[in-house]
A = this chain, B = another copy of it.
């Protein structure tokens, strides 16, 4: 049993690459895939999904409701361990902590990310919705830009993640790809997994951090490392493509926030996230 990957939904790239194997109670082995790198770094949303899968096994409730991640050091493709702690278990919510660690050249464990999370059961929530939020205005998919359309975006380094995703970027937010950034801190796209796997709460943790950084549209080209990212999963996503909108309003003192919203095909706001990131130097 200990060798059986936990909580996978079948043979999809996302499920294979985020699989964790319980080594002992609360401790999970993972193999970080080189297939989810952006600018040579393993994508932070992918890492959050790996940690989220381990916590879903370690906690009595199945679904992430709110996950707060502080990123300490860049993760690299290869083996990693997720050490979890079940902190508290209530009737509707249980809370836990997790750390993702990797070994350095000397064999010492280095902590990459630490997470606090509260999990619940999305299917147990009432249907009551009172919202003034509106889905992002993104043109139909056929009018958006996929990775194979138009000029190849100039993203430095290895960006294997673009092959794992079916991203269709809003033409209004792709100026950066042709050297004409809009100057607005906005990025919008249709989001899907390249192999057609439907969204679930775990893949929402990826979706909130999978678009090109808004800093590209601000005319900045470098890496935008996440300091902290918190994601709220508000509803189980319906099958079909997601719409993701990311907005940066305030770049100050070398840091910026990225606020992401994820909407499903039923026009429900299924996830909200905010991250604090370092602004690229150039």
List which A115-143 residues lie within 8 A (CB) of chain B: 115-118, 122, 125-133
Contact partner, A130, options B130, B227, B232, B251, Cβ 8 Å: B251
Q: Is the CB of B132 within 8 A of A184?
A: yes
Contact partner, A228, options B118, B251, B254, Cβ 8 Å: B118
Contact partner, A125, options B72, B125, B133, B254, Cβ 8 Å: B254
Q: Is the CB of A249 within 8 A of B133?
A: yes
Which of A93, A228, A251 is most buried by chain B, counting CB atoms within 10 A of its CB?
A: A228
Select the stretch in A8-16, A34-42, A49-57, A268-276 that faces chain B: A268-276
> With contacts A130-B252, A249-B133, A250-B272 known, is A227 near B93, CB below 8 A?
yes
> With contacts A66-B70, A125-B253, A228-B66 known, is A111 near B87, CB below 8 A?
yes
Can you list 29 pairs linking A and B with CB atoms under 8 Å apart?
A65-B255, A65-B276, A66-B70, A66-B228, A68-B116, A70-B116, A72-B87, A87-B114, A95-B114, A97-B114, A116-B116, A118-B228, A125-B253, A125-B254, A126-B253, A128-B251, A128-B253, A128-B254, A129-B252, A130-B252, A131-B249, A132-B249, A132-B250, A228-B232, A232-B257, A232-B274, A234-B250, A235-B252, A250-B272
